[in-house]
Amino acid sequence: MATAGRERDSGDGAAAGGREVTLLTREGCGGCDAAWERLDLVCKEFGIAASAVDVDAAAARRPELRAEFGDRLPVVLLDGREHSYWEVDEERLRADLAR
Q: Is residue 56 part of a domain?
A: yes
Q: Is residue 1 part of a domain?
A: no
The CATH number of the domain holding residue 71 is 3.40.30.10
**Count of CB atoms within 10 A of residue 90's CB?**
15
Mean pLDDT of 83-87: 96
Amino acid at 71: D
Range of the domain at 35: 7-98
The number of distinct structural domains making up the chain is 1
Q: Is residue 41 part of a domain?
A: yes
Q: Is residue 2 part of a domain?
A: no
Give residue 18's pLDDT. Answer: 86
Q: Is residue 78 part of a domain?
A: yes
Q: How confident is the model at residue 92 (pLDDT cuts 50, 70, 90)?
A: very high
Give residue 97's pLDDT. Answer: 97
> Residue 80: which of 25, 32, 34, 14 has the closest Cα?
14
Q: Is residue 27 part of a domain?
A: yes
Give residue 91's pLDDT. Answer: 97
Residue-wise pLDDT tens digits, 12-69: 344 445 899 999 999 999 899 999 999 999 999 999 999 999 999 999 999 999 999 9
Give residue 30's pLDDT. Answer: 86
